[in-house]
Structure 1
Amino acid sequence: MPKDYSECYEYLSAQFPEVGGCEFYRELFPDNENAGEIYTDFSHPNAIYLYKDEQAGKERRRIMLNDTWEQDYMDYVEQNPLTLCSGLVYRKRANKLQNAQRMNALIFDLDGVGLAELRNLFLRFGGDPEKVRRLPMPTFLVLSGTGLHVYYVFREPVDLYPNIKVQLKSLKYDLTFRMWEYKATSKQQAIQYQSINQCFRMVGSLNDKHGTHLVAFRTGERVTLDYLNAYAKPENRVDVNKPFKPSKMTRAQAKERYPEWYERVVVRGDKRRKQWDISGKVHGNDPYALYHWWLRQIGGIKGGHRYFFLMCLAIYAYKCGVPKKQLRQDMQQAFEDLQKVKHENVLTEDDIRSALEAYDKEYYNFTIKDIEALTDIRIEKNKRNGRKQAVHLQGARAIQEINDKANGTSWRLRNGRPSVREQVFRWREQHPEGRKADCHRDTGLDPKTIRKWWDYQPPVASFEDGHISVKIRPSQELSDMLVEEFKDRL
């Protein structure tokens, strides 16, 4: 048993009541349906959990039903090495974000928590939200093995309209940043951002990675959105009075401005999200170029982001139309490479199966901002200054043509980096009798680079800061002419 787990258990059990797993989920999800009940108006969405069927060796989904929960808890959750549940309730039978109807609890995962970090958290819980790093008091704290699951259970569940989902994601990212501080509340430096649909190991189950049971402690009361909002920046708060952002454009205006959309959505009734033709816009012969680019980012992945790299690999595969068979092969190779990344938590084959679920149209329009947050990989974006691609490229080509004419050459010739060759040229101008060795000593440039550009001469005409400059080589004849012309002024 990890030392951090045992010390945190002693600290929490001495101050707060322990809550059993069966009771915990009854309190978290009080409105689940009974067996055999079907509400066609979706007034009773249900919690859905995943458990490991050890006999079949597979993960299975199961609806959390009210009247059978006690027996189900003993059969499928208690002592199970892998049971997962989010804080959302769903219509239908799949725990996909598109089926999520209400949020009963907002949950955070905080890795690398020992006794010192736990004490620091309690110094911050429940304080003045205007002060730096203060945090809302959680309803429950759950010991997970090497860290904590922090539960904020709402007094009234939050209806998950599409725009509310986006707002809740911003709120969760904001509070995650406030909660996760290296060497203060966590021993892990890399912050791990997670979606509002993220599933967590269930109370009463077994964390087989560390040989620990997940134990819950009641630390506070149920919360309201207003209470959580007070601890977030104004731009990241949730406004339940704005569940939608209705368009002010009339249907006639939409037909004129977006004829393709109008034909697809209004005329044909196809309201599915439109997929971008990524492979058709790739410059080159590789239709999977974006997917292969993401595979190459594996070297920058840190310990707490390994699973999310695999999940985003599945997202990029779906975006680019990569066959699922190839994705599985690449994910297996990536899995082996990611196991070499140092981290307290072990990466398992179950993580691969879970990440593969992101190979789905639901994640097709996953944003770059979300991928950056989940994986801690910086993605440089093409800057068009608000212009469409065709207009942006037209302007870029015009500037390129001006530069080519001014320099008397073309960027396609790739005549070395201007900063390097100009540096060699300027040094030779200042040291006409200088040697290559002297240039190397003064500039620090590689000797091969110096030899390559030793005899370089810049073009006669150059384009700089919007002006064309022409260099004239002085000669004795020109000098004599200038002296004669201006001798009265000298």
Structure 2
Amino acid sequence: MDFISDYMQQFFEPITPYEFYRDVFPIGELEERGKQEQGKYNGVAVELLPREKGSSVQKIKRYIVTDDLYILDKLLESDNFIIISPISYKGKNRKGESARFIYGLAIDLDGVETKQNIIDLFYQMQNDILPTCTYAVTSGHGLHLYYLFETPLPAFENIKKGLHVLKMALIRRIWNRYITVLSDKPQYQSIFQGFRLVGGVTKDGRRTQAYRTGKKITVEYLNNYVTEENQLKEFSYKSKLTLSDAKKKYPEWYGRRIEQGQEKGTWVCKRALYDWWKRRLLIEATEGHRYFSMMCLAIYAKKSGVSYEELEKDAFELVPRFDLLTTDEKNHFTDYDCIKALEMYNDSYFTFPIEEIVKLTLIPIEKNKRNYRKRAVHIEYMNMQRTFKVKLGESTNGGRPKGSGTAEKTVKQWQQEHPDGKKSDCIRETGLSKKTVYKWWT
């Protein structure tokens, strides 16, 4: 949409791709090319290669972005979709657990249909109704708003979950009726979602362009624009603590995570959950809700212990079927939409509420039934049923299910790994209830 580009060129300073990514990843932040450095990580760019004719297989090529931004020239020569996020990772894998530092939040803003929409966007920023973004990037039919942090945030579990809540609240605030015609259908995105490469190709064949619109910001600044329950309060910025210091301060954590290379534990559901949702998508996915349906497939894959590789294969096989649902030629479902949705494959979204899934996908989900009994009555009823089965010799496991008494071990292990940790951090990172953590806290 030319009116967006015309407005941005008139009022803001255009920035080259190199200047933009140098500001995202300042000199010295990423590891040097050809070297592996303790405490230094890399950016990751993903290129979507053209599908072979008649094939449902989407081939993807991943690139490591090092401190010299050497790969940027090669990426800018490509005519394929390329995405990258303002996050550093360990290796080429863009899974949430591979994330190391978060350099900013990026918000995708669609439905900017008139010049007045974009005028109102920056009017609200200039008048402190919305937080002022550091950069705005033109991308086809909308804008990507980047809020870069003055100091990056470590990608700890509690910070990732807190940032997710904060970002969702910011999206709801930014997608208002003065700015987008889609205010009643805001598009929620993961904090890990990749966006089109600055200087890279868009859906309509043009190139994205970045404009400097403000300064780098802090979490405290963003907190001013959301309600208290959506604020990120318990966090820390990137620490200057060295690994040798960490070894002295947190010896047990250092031994487990650094010397032995152990990964953090995760809590998963049965595989059947993922397969059940995938089957429903084949029949019940609808236009206008395809992105969210795919997004929930990624959430269920993570909850069910399905590998990212399997999820990726299944998701891209669904793309042609999803695209057949298109009735508006401006609204095709593409491989780019798919890979954006897969960013929700992350522990931070384990507790994504069923009510929200139903609302976003329009696919009904019935909760576990208790035949209209209250919880306490239902528990008493089930206990009586179990006792009766024991008498009949049909069941001898009258006690608690195997493995259900591990909460105490989980809390104690977390305390050992985080000697200075708080109860609230433990609740966020383990997913245990407040009552359970308080019960076993020592």
Q: State the TM-score, normalizing by the size of structure 1.
A: 0.61
Paired letter, 1:175? L
Aligned to 1:225: 219
- Find runs of 4+ consecutive structure 1 residues off by over 6 angstroms: 54-57, 320-323, 383-386
- What code does the residue aligned with 1:219 have? T
Q: Deviations over 1:50-92 (max 9, x none)?
A: 124569983211111122x25x222113453311011211123
Q: SS at 2:107's partner residue?
A: strand
Aligned pair count?
Answer: 346
Distance (whole Å) between structure 1 residues aligned to residue 160 and residue 59 of structure 2: 30
- Deviation of 1:320 after TM superposition, in Å, equals 6.6
More displaced stretch, 172-181 vs 325-334: 325-334
- Quote the offset at 1:159 in angstroms: 1.7
Partner amino acid, structure 1, of 2:330: E
Residue 335 (structure 1) aligns with:
322
- Aligned residue identity for 1:192: Q
Q: Say whether the 8 Å CA contact 1:192–1:374 is kept in structure 2.
A: no
Q: Which residue of 2 aligns with 1:49?
A: 45
Asked if 2 retains the 8 angstrom alpha-carbon contact of 1:91 and 1:99, the reply is yes
- Number of the residue aligned with 1:151: 146
Counterpart CA distance in 1 for 2:106 and 2:123 is: 20
Deviation by residue 1:21-51 (Cα, 9 ceiling, x = unmatched)? 11110111111221122123x2x22211112
Q: 1:217 to 1:329 in 2, by over 3 A?
A: closer
Of residues 113-122 and 307-316 in structure 1, the stretch that sits farther from structure 2 once superposed is: 307-316
- Bigger Rg, structure 1 or 2: 1
Deviation at 1:219, TM superposition (A): 0.8
Deviation (angstroms), 1:387: 4.5
Q: Measured at CA, do residues 8 and 386 of structure 1 come closer, stay the same or move farther in structure 2, by a change above 3 Å?
A: farther
CA change 1:58–1:180 in 2 (3 A) is same
One-letter identity of the residue aligned with 1:166: K
SS state of the match for residue 285, structure 2?
helix
Tell me whether 233-242 or 198-207 shows the greater mean CA deviation.
Answer: 233-242
Q: What residue in structure 1 maps to residue 160 of structure 2?
A: 165
Residue in structure 2 matched with residue 237 of structure 1 by the alignment = 231
CA offsets per residue over residues 413-444 of structure 1, 9 Å max, x none?
A: xxxxxxxxxxxxxxxxxxxxxxxxxxxxxxxx
Equivalence for 2:196 = 201
SS of alignment partner, residue 109 of structure 2: strand
Q: Answer yes or no: is 1:116 the counterpart of 2:116.
A: yes
Unaligned runs of at least 5 residues, structure 1: 129-133, 244-268, 398-490
Alpha-carbon distance in 2 for matches of 1:93, 1:389: 51
Greater RCO (Cα-Cα under 8 Å, separation 6 or more): 2
Question: Separation in 2 of the partners of 1:391 and 1:149?
Answer: 50
1-side partners of 2:340 and 2:7: how far apart?
34
Counterpart residue type for residue 49 of structure 1: A
Query: What are structure 2's unaligned runs of at least 5 residues?
Result: 53-57, 238-261, 386-442
Name the aligned partner's letter for residue 214 of structure 2.
G
Match of 1:142 among 137, 145, 155: 137
Counterpart CA distance in 1 for 2:324 and 2:78 is 31
Who is 2:333 aligned against?
A: 347
Closer, same or farther: CA 377–26 of 1 in aligned 2, 3 Å: farther
Q: Distance in 2 between matches of 1:101 and 1:22?
A: 22
Summarize the Cα distance change of 1:271–1:153 in structure 2 as closer, same or farther, 3 Å threshold.
closer
Q: Secondary structure at the match of 1:181?
A: coil
Flag the 1:185–1:386 CA change in 2: closer, same or farther, 3 A.
farther
Match of 1:391 in 2: 379
Cα 1:292–1:363 shift into 2, 3 Å: farther
Determine if the alignment matches structure 1 residue 273 to structure 2 residue 266: yes
Return closer, same or farther for 1:45/1:213 CA change in 2, 3 Å cut-off: same
CA deviations on 1:441-475 (whole Å, 9 max, x unpaired) are: xxxxxxxxxxxxxxxxxxxxxxxxxxxxxxxxxxx
- Equivalent residue, structure 2, for 1:187: 181
Match of 2:30 in 1: 32
* Identity %, equivalent residues: 32
SS of corresponding position for 1:211: coil
Relative to structure 1, is the Cα distance of residues 376 and 62 closer, same or farther in structure 2, using a 3 angstrom cutoff? farther
Contact kept? 1:193, 1:374, Cα under 8 Å: no
Write the deviation string for residues 239-258 of structure 1: whole angstroms up to 9, x where unpaired.
Answer: 13489xxxxxxxxxxxxxxx
Cα gap change, 1:194/1:364 in structure 2, threshold over 3 Å: closer, same or farther? closer
Does residue 99 (structure 1) correspond to residue 98 (structure 2)? The answer is yes
Cα distance in 2 for residues equivalent to 1:330 and 1:55: 11
* Deviation sequence 1:305-360 (CA, Å, 0-9, x none): 4233224235546767999599469725642443x2537343224545676787x7
- 2-side partners of 1:202 and 1:78: how far apart? 11
d(CA) in 2 for partners of 1:34, 1:117: 42
In the other structure, the counterpart of 1:62 is: 63
RMSD between aligned residues: 3.8
